Chains A and B, each alone.
Chain A
Amino acid sequence: MTTGRVEAPTRREADLYATSSRTILLALAPILVALTLAGALLLALGVDPLTYYGYVLQRGLLSPLGFEGTITRMAPLLLLAASLIVAFQAGIWNLGGDGQFLLGALTAAAAGPPLAAHLPVSAALLLCLIVGAGVGAVWALLPALLRAYQGVNEIITTLMMSFLGVSFANVLVKLVFRDTTTTVPQTRTLPVADRLPRLFDTTVTSGVLIGLVAIVVVQLVITRTAFGLRLRVVGANARAAVHAGLPVPRLVVAAFVISAGLAGLAGAVEILGVEGNVRADWNPAFSLTVVPLVFLARFNGFAAIFFVFLFSVLSIGGESAAHRMGVPSFFNLVIVALVLVLLALAEYLGGRRLSGPVA
C-alpha cells in the first residue's frame, strides 16, 4: 500500500466533514429565525411560544419515548430521501413518490397477514419488503420507459401515476383487500408480534436501520462506483453521455427503477414497522416534504440524514406540542415552511447555490 493511496481518501473525508459541519452551521441560524417568526404567530394565537417549543424539544428529542418516535419516523423518510437522491443525481424528476410509497405500503399490508400465517416471521417480512419495493418499481416502469425511449417529460408522467396510484390504492383497500371483520375500511391488521422487530428494549422499529443502510449505500454507490459516475454523467449532460458511449436509456430506466423501488420499500417499512395496516384514504404524503430536504442537502446522503432527523424532530415534537397546547396541528406546516425558506435563504447568504436536475 502506497502512502498516496492512503492519503487520497483521507483528504476527501476531511473535505466531507468540513462540508457537513458547514452545512449544519448554516442550518442552525435560519432555524432559530424561523422559530422566532413562528413564535410571533403563536403569540397571536394566545399561546406562549417558549412553552410550545419546550414541548417540541421535550417530546421530539429529549424524552425517551419522543426521541424513539422521532427515530421511528425517520425510517420511511430516509428511504424516500435515498429514492430521490438516486433520481435527482441521474437528472430524473421522480415526483411520483407518494403513489409509489402508497402502493408499496398497500402491497406489504395485503401480503403481510397471509404470509405471516404460513411462513416464519423473518421470511414473511423479507418477502413483504421485496414485493413492496417491486410494486413501487413496477409503478414507475411506464414513466421510465416513456422517458428513456420516447423522451416524454417525467414530471407529467410521474405526477399522473402518483395521483393514479393514490386512487388505485384506495380502490384496492375498499374493494379487494378490505378487512371484513371491522366496519372501518382498512386492510387486515398485521399482529404486533409479526411486525419488524424493535431495536433493543425501545419502541424504535428496525426499519430505521434499513433506511440508514439504504441512504449510505446510495451515497457510496453514487460517489464511489462506476455505475454511480455513469448516472451522474447522464444527470449532468445526457447528450454528452450519449457521445461518451453510455447506454443512456438503460441507465435512465435503472435509476428510475431503483428510485421507485426505494419509495415502495419506504411504504412497506412504514406498514410493517409502524402502522400494521392501510386505512382507506391514508396518505401521509411524505414524499413531497422530503423533496426540499434532499435539495437542501444538495443530494448528499449524509447531509440528508441530518435534515431528515431535523424534520422528524419538528414533526413528532410538533404533533405532540400542538395536541398538548390546544393549537391546531396545521401550525407545524407553517414552522416547516418557514424553516425551509430560511434554510434556502441561508444558502444564498452563505454564497452557495442550490442546483437541480435539468428537466
Chain B
Amino acid sequence: MSLFTEPFLTALVLGAVTAGLPLLLAGLGEQMSERAGVLNVGIEGMMLAGAYGGFLVAYRSGSIPLGLFGGATCGGLVAALMALFCVRLALSQIVVGIALTLAAEGLTALLHHVQFSQTYPRLPAAATLPIPLLSAMPVVGPALFDRPLIVYLALACVPALSRLYRETHFGLALQAAGDAPAALDAAGVDVLRTRMAAVLATGVLAGTGGAFMAEIGAGLFVPFMTNGAGFIGIVLAMLARGRPLWVLWGALLFGMCLSLATALQVVGVDIPSDVIQMIPFAAVMAVLVAFGRRASLPAALGVPYRRGER
C-alpha cells in the first residue's frame, strides 16, 4: 500500500515518541503517587507549570537542558503545595488537586499574556544526541536514536522505576503507604514522609513532561497547552496496574494516535483531527470491554492518613 511509505512511517513514529513522552512522564509520576495512596488530580497543573517554567527558563537562558530543569522545578513546586495540603494537612485530594490545576492554568496563562502575548517567541530546535549506527536505521533511527538526551533519560526511567518498586526498601514503603499505611507506620516508617516524597517525585516527572511538551514538542508555550494530558496520565497509571512498562506502551499508543493526523497530512490524506483524536480513547474502551478485569488499586488510595485514626 502506498500509504506506508518511509516518510509517512518516519513522521508517525517520530511524532508518536514526541507526543507520547510527556504522557509517559506524567503516567510514571501519577503511578508513583497512586502507589503511595495519593490520587494526584493536580498533575495537569504540575505539567502546565512545568511547561511554562521550562519554556521561560529555556527562552531566557538559551539552553534547553536548563529549561528542562526549570520545568522540573516548577512541577516540583506545585507538587510541594499538593504534598503540604493533601498529605501533611490531610485536605481533600480532589478539591486541592483541581484547585491547583485551575491555579496553574490561570497563572501560566496570565504570565504568558503579560510577557509574550504580542510576540509568541519560539525556541530553536533542541540539539540531538545521535547514537552511532542505530540512528542510521530507517524510520526508527530518526524517531528513537537521534533525539535529545532527555528522551533517552525518560525511557531509562521505565526500567529504573521497575527496579525501584521491586527491589528497594523505598519501593516497598511506597506500596505499603498505599495499601496499609497503618502497618507501615507500625513498622516504624514515616507514612507522611513517604507519601510526600512520592508526590514530589510526581511533580518533578510531570513538570519535566510539560517542559518537554513546550520546549521540544511545540517549541513555544501556549496557554492551556497540556489540554488534558495530565488526565491521560492518570488513566495510563490506572490501566498499568503498577507496572511502569505498561505506562510506556500506553503512552506510545496515545502518542501514535495523536501523531497520526500529522503523519496523514504528510502523505496528503485529510481526515478531521477530531475523528483521529477519538481513536486512542475508543481503543482503551474496546480493550476494557474485551478484557475488563477488576481494578487493582491501592486500598488506601485517596484516603489521607492520620495517625491513630481508622
Contact = CB atoms under 8 A, between A and B. Distances in A.
Contacts of A163: 228, 231-232, 277, 281
Interface string A340-359: 11011101100001101011
Contacts, number: 156
Size category, B interface: 35 or more
A328 B112 CA distance: 10
Contacts of B109: 328, 330, 333
B246 interface: no
Nearest to A357: B302
A151 B107 CA distance: 39
B102 A333 contact: yes
A184 interface: no
B297 interface: yes
A333 B106 contact: yes
B169 interface: no
Contacts of B107: 330, 334
Nearest to B278: A167
Given A151-B293, A160-B235, A356 B94 contact: yes
Contact of A159 (B106, B235, B278, B293): B235
B44 to A, nearest CB: 10
A65 interface: no
A150 interface: yes
B187 interface: no
A142 B92 contact: no
A344 B102 contact: no
A336 interface: yes
Contact of B295 (A152, A295, A332, A344): A152
Interface string A261-296: 000000000000000000000000000110110011
A337 interface: yes
Interface of B: 39, 85, 89-96, 98-103, 105-107, 109-110, 113-114, 223, 228, 231-232, 234-235, 238-239, 272, 274-275, 277-278, 281-282, 284-285, 288-289, 292-295, 297, 301-304
16 contacts: A152-B295, A156-B238, A161-B285, A163-B228, A170-B274, A295-B94, A332-B106, A336-B99, A337-B99, A337-B101, A337-B102, A340-B102, A344-B91, A345-B85, A353-B90, A359-B39
